Every structure is written in C-alpha cells, then in structure tokens.
Amino acid sequence: MRSINENSVGFVETKFYSCCEPPNELILSSGEKLGPITIAYETYGTLNKDKSNAILIFHALTGDAHAAGFHKGDNKPGWWDNMIGPNKAFDTEKYFIICSNVIGSCKGSTGPSSIDPKTKKPYGLSFPIVTINDMVATQKKLIDHLGIKKLLSTAGGSMGGMQALSWSVLFPEYLDSAIIIATNTIHTPQQIAFHEVARQAIKADPDWQNGDYYGKSIPARGLAVARMMGHITYMSDKSMQEKFGRRLQNKEKLGYDFSSDFEIENYLKHRGDSFVQRFDANSWLYLSKALDYFDLSEGKKLSDVFSRSLLKFLVISFTSDWLYPPYQTKQIVKALKVNEIDVSNIEIDASYGHDSFLVETEDQSRLIEHFLKRVTKEQ
C-alpha cells in the first residue's frame, strides 16, 4: 500500500444520501420523474462553525465522488488528489471539500445500472434521460442535507465545468464564486459528433442487447472503442508526439499486417480494455447525451443568463485543448464582462490537451489558491 504523506487527506470513505422518495420524486428536465435517488459523495477537511468554507467539486464524464485520498485496500488516489489536500489548491486545512457522483453514472449514485424499485431489476434503458441541470438539482439537495446555506465556491473541469456553470445560473444566491475549467456553455456539432460515433460503437456491439445486458456478457468491445475515441480527444497532437511518436511496440520493423505495430495503438487498446472493467456502457450513453443536451443559455443571449449573478468567477483554459478550445471559454468571459461581473480569465500554456486540467496542476493550483484566498477575504 502506498504510504500516506502529510499533504494527503489520507484514508476516506464514500458516503450515501437518499432523497426524492415517492411521491416527492425529482421532476427532470424531460418532465419525467425520478425517485428514490441515491447520491454517493465524499468530503475532505472540516466544515467550520458558520459553515462558510464549503466548496463543491464536480467530476468529468467518467469520474466519481472519489476526488482525493485513498480507499482502504486501494493503492489508487482520488482523481484530483494532486489538487485537494493540506497545502494544495483546495486546502483541506482551510476548506471543507465535497464531491458527489452525478446521477446517471455507475459509481454509487442512481443510474441505469441501479435497481428499479418497481421491477426489482436494473433500469437499463428504462432509466430516464438526465441533464446537467438535473445533476445540479440533486447536488443542491445534498448541500441542503449537509446544512450548508451558501457555498464558498464550486469548481470543475470538462463536464464538471458545465455543472459549475449550471450552479451559477440556477442557484447564484447559494454560492460566492465559481471556478470554470476547460469547458463550454453548449456542445458544438463537432463535440456532439465525437460522442455519437462512440455511442454507435457501443450500440453496434451485439452484447449491448438494447441496454439489457446486466447479468450477461457486457458490450466490452463497443465500450472499449468508445473509450479509445474519447481518449484521443482528451490528448493533443503534441502530447501524443512526445509520448509515443511513431515508435513500434515490441518489434523492430513494420509487420505489414493488421496487428498493432505502433505504441499508440497498444496504448489506446489498453485504455479501452481497462475502462470496461470500471464503467458501465449505458452510463456512458446517458452521460454523453447529457453533455450534448447542455445549453446554458437555452435560446437566450448568453450574457442575459448571468444578469442576476453577483458571483466572482475564475475561468481557466489550456492552449492545447482542442476538445474545449480556449475560444469557447472566452465567450463565457465576454458574457460575464458585459454584466460587469468580477471574472479572472487565464489561458495556461500546456501540451497535455484537454486532460491538462487533471495533470497540469502547478499553474492551475497557484491560480485557484490565490482566487480562493481573495473570495474568502471578501466574503
């Protein structure tokens, strides 16, 4: 087991909160009802006496509530462990950090692999479509359950950034600030296209069986290909060149056949094959659709949706991110400035592509640390 250093939150446990029991189900964006709902979440640090130091962290598409520290018996740290802990960007000596798994996922919160209380079987495709706003609605219920009247901040990258944006529009009076990282206010046709190809790969797998594969063979090949497609968009041309180039895998010359010659081919196969062991294919379909449906302005001018906001914003993008390129975050900044909202916009020079928000943490940490200090001081 990896040793726990002084800058780690140490061993943590996932907690569960249940809500929306019938007849008080959650009314979804689609008009359908969902309930009961279970929300998996973790917390790090200590909530202060007046409950004014809470920060809600959001994960990306395939993430979970385990953002920092270690689970007993598991050597893998939380997905943002390099950002959350004592003396880190989200300093647990100062702040109370909360991270919950979104509904529609398969990491403890209610999703298509959960048991439908009506049928006593997994929901499968009978699970209703959920949106980013629906995820945020359940998070608000969790924050109410924890007795927190106002969040110091919200923060997330990619799909997490969309949740932070949604919070800033739906519940601006319940938070002081928002940290928006590597995201967009609406999916472009190209972003939707990548997701649709991946969804088709899953649905083309004979083992998908129209989503009714639980207890049977899972659509492993289709899900692996979907992950391979997604992972390409998370990297950059430069990072691929630096990490793999055109190096051959376990051979000295080209095979001139359809086996995997290049390191990058084997890397993508490994990423796909390992992914199917930890994630549900139906959840991938549902969450990717939630991303594609996201439209913060919903037909209005983007500047108008921020008109009643009094929040402070930190907006971060990365030069090599071609999935959510910097011009998209600049549109967010422009809409905020039209409303004379306090916003800091930083574009970080990084070669890791979209994944920079997970791995390029040095500059990101300094920015977030100073931003949170200022927000705390001006509370």
Is 59 annotated as catalytic? Answer: no
> In Å, how far from its chain's centre is CA 358?
11
Active site residue: 81, 134, 261, 321, which one?
Answer: 321
Distance CA 225, CA 229 (A): 6
Active site residue: 8, 109, 153, 158, which one?
Answer: 158
Active site residue: 66, 168, 354, 356, which one?
Answer: 354
Distance CA 35, CA 20 (A): 5
Distance CA 198, CA 288 (A): 9
Distance CA 281, CA 214 (A): 10
Is 349 annotated as catalytic? Answer: no
Q: Are strands 121-122 and 115-116 parallel, antiparallel or unpaired?
A: antiparallel
Largest CA distance in the chain: 68
Distance CA 61, CA 227 (A): 11
The helix/strand/coil state of 65 is: coil
Is 370 annotated as catalytic? Answer: no
Task: Give the Cβ contact number of residue 162 at 10 Å.
Answer: 29
- DSSP-derived secondary structure for 53-114: -EEEEE--TT--S--SSB-TT--PPPTTTTTEETTSSEETTT-EEEEEPPTTSSSSSS-TTS
Which residues is 293 bridged to in the sheet? none
Q: Which residues are designated catalytic?
A: 158, 321, 354
